[in-house]
Amino acid sequence: MADNMKQIEVLNWAFSILKEHKREEQIANILMQHHLNCTQTEFYMNMREMIQPEIITKFKQDIFNHINTGKPVQHLIGYDYFYGEKFIVNEHTLIPRQETEELVDLMINTYPQDTKLTFVDLGTGSGVIAITLAKHFKRAQIIASDISNQALIVAKKNALLHDVNIQFLKGDFLEPIIKSQLEPNIIVSNPPYIDHADLPTLSDTVKDFDPHQALFAKNKGLAAYETIMHQIAELAEEPQAIYFEIGHTQASSLIDMYNKVLPNYQVKIKKDLNAKDRIIMAELKER
């Protein structure tokens, strides 16, 4: 590859080599826009512009790093987008997924924007759920917990970046909320739900770089839900609603778990954009 090249020429080289190594070609666009430090509009308008040799060198290094190791592009650039906003991510946090945006979108479209309810995000990771809720529900109280100190550091940085007020607590899901005698109205969580037996089926980008603590759970991926439900049963007041992101084969097992542990809740399953079971929503039954 020559040092003196147009943006489109560099991208075509990257598309070709990524395809050859069975990597997603879209990664080239993300990395190029990052290294050029430009908007998406500028990126597409300047396809025929020449690129400085030092930028080409850094871009090539990242391309080969991704090809050779599977390191996610989000880790290479240090951020990702969720619900249209930029968030810091690293090896201590999950990379945000489209399915989680659908979980947040459901909540945003369920409650009035001026609500004063208390939302609790369990296993917050980078904080994308809690922060997005805080930006939308400006009068609500938002609490977020995580067992990982490193994840909480990232979440707090993101909260500062987005100028939102969130109470972060360290602990295992609801444990610190119970200890602090807080009373959540709405609970939301994207907990670890992958069965350890499924590890060989995952891409290297996921299994080698996403934190396993945030991916995998015992009992065929159901252990985290079981823990949270039993913790909810310990609360002084039952929350109005509970929202979980789930694995697409787990709905029936989780409905059974609700019936045994939290029988006062009416459970509904929501499908994602790919028509797979993805969200389980439980609302407190009227008495």
pLDDT tens string, the chain, 287 residues long: the values are: 666 799 999 999 999 999 999 999 999 999 999 999 999 899 999 999 999 999 999 999 999 999 999 999 999 999 999 999 999 999 999 999 999 999 999 999 999 999 999 999 999 999 999 999 999 999 999 999 999 999 999 999 999 999 999 999 999 999 999 999 999 999 999 999 998 888 888 888 888 878 888 888 899 999 999 999 999 999 999 999 999 999 999 999 999 999 999 999 999 999 999 999 999 999 998 86
Residue 107 near residue 129, CB atoms below 8 Å = no
Task: Give the CB-side neighbour count of residue 163, counting CA atoms within 13 A.
Answer: 0
Q: What is the CATH number of domain 83-284?
A: 3.40.50.150
pLDDT (0 to 100) of residue 9: 96
Residue 171 near residue 137, CB atoms below 8 Å = no
- Helix 26-36 to helix 53-69 angle (10° resolution) is 140
Domain boundaries, the chain: 5-69, 83-284
pLDDT (0 to 100) of residue 287: 65
Query: What global pTM score does this model have?
Result: 0.92
> What would you measure as the largest C-alpha separation in the chain, in angstroms?
73
| 192-195 long-range contacts, CB within 8 A, separation 24+ | 192/123, 192/216, 192/217, 192/221, 192/224, 193/217, 193/221, 193/222, 193/224, 193/225, 193/245, 193/246, 193/247, 193/250, 194/221, 194/247, 195/220, 195/221, 195/247
